[in-house]
Structure 1
Amino acid sequence: MTNDLPGSDAVTDFVFSSPPDDKAALEEGSTFSPRFDANGLITAVVNDADDGRLLMVAHMNAEALSKTLVTGIAHYWSRSRRSLWQKGETSGNRQRVIEIRTDCDQDVVQLSVHVEGHAATCHTGRRSCFYRLVVAENGTVKLRHDETRPLFETKEVYGK
Structure 2
Amino acid sequence: MSLWLELEKAGLDESRPLSEVLDAIPWNTDGLIAAIAQQHDSAEVLMLAWLNRTALEETLASGQVCYWSRSRQQLWRKGETSGHRQRLVEARLDCDGDAVLLLVEQHGPACHTGRPSCFYNAVSEARVRVISVAQ
Tell me which interval the TM-score lies in, with the shorter structure as reference length: 0.7 to 0.9
The answer to whether the Cα contact below 8 Å between 1:98 and 1:114 also exists between their aligned partners in 2 is: yes
C-alpha separation in 2, matches of 1:150 and 1:23: 40
Is residue 143 of structure 1 aligned with residue 128 of structure 2? yes
More helix by share: 2
Q: Number of residues paired by the alignment?
A: 125
Percent identity between matched residues is 43
Deviation beyond 6 Å, 4+ runs, structure 1? none
Would the aligned equivalents of 1:26 and 1:105 in 2 still touch at CA under 8 Å?
no
Per-residue CA deviations over 1:65-116 (Å, capped at 9, x if unaligned) read 0110111000001111111110011110100000001111011110010012
Q: Which of 97, 108, 112 lines up with 2:88 in the alignment?
A: 97
Q: Which has more radius of gyration?
A: 1
User: Does structure 1 retain, via aligned residues, the 8 Å contact 2:120–2:130?
Assistant: yes
Deviation, structure 1 residue 50: 1.0
Q: How does 1:35-74 map to 2 (within 5 A)?
A: 35-74=26-65
Structure 2: any 5+ residue segments left out of the alignment? none
TM-align CA RMSD: 1.6
Quick check: 1:114 aligned with 2:105?
yes
Return the alpha-carbon distance in structure 2 between the equivalents of residues 52 and 123 of structure 1: 20
Name the CA distance, whole Å, in 2 between partners of 1:28 and 1:75.
31
Alpha-carbon deviations, 1:92-144, whole Å to 9, x = none?
0100000001111011110010012xx2000000110001111333xxxx321
Give, in whole Å, the separation in 2 of the partners of 1:89 and 1:22: 35
Question: 1:128 aligns to what?
Answer: 117
Matched, 1:82 2:73: yes
TM-score in terms of structure 2 length: 0.85
Structure 2 CA distance for partners of 1:70 and 1:28, relative to 1, 3 Å: farther
Q: TM-score when scaled to structure 1?
A: 0.72
Against the structure 1 CA distance between its residues 77 and 28, is the aligned structure 2 distance closer, same or farther, given a 3 Å change threshold? farther
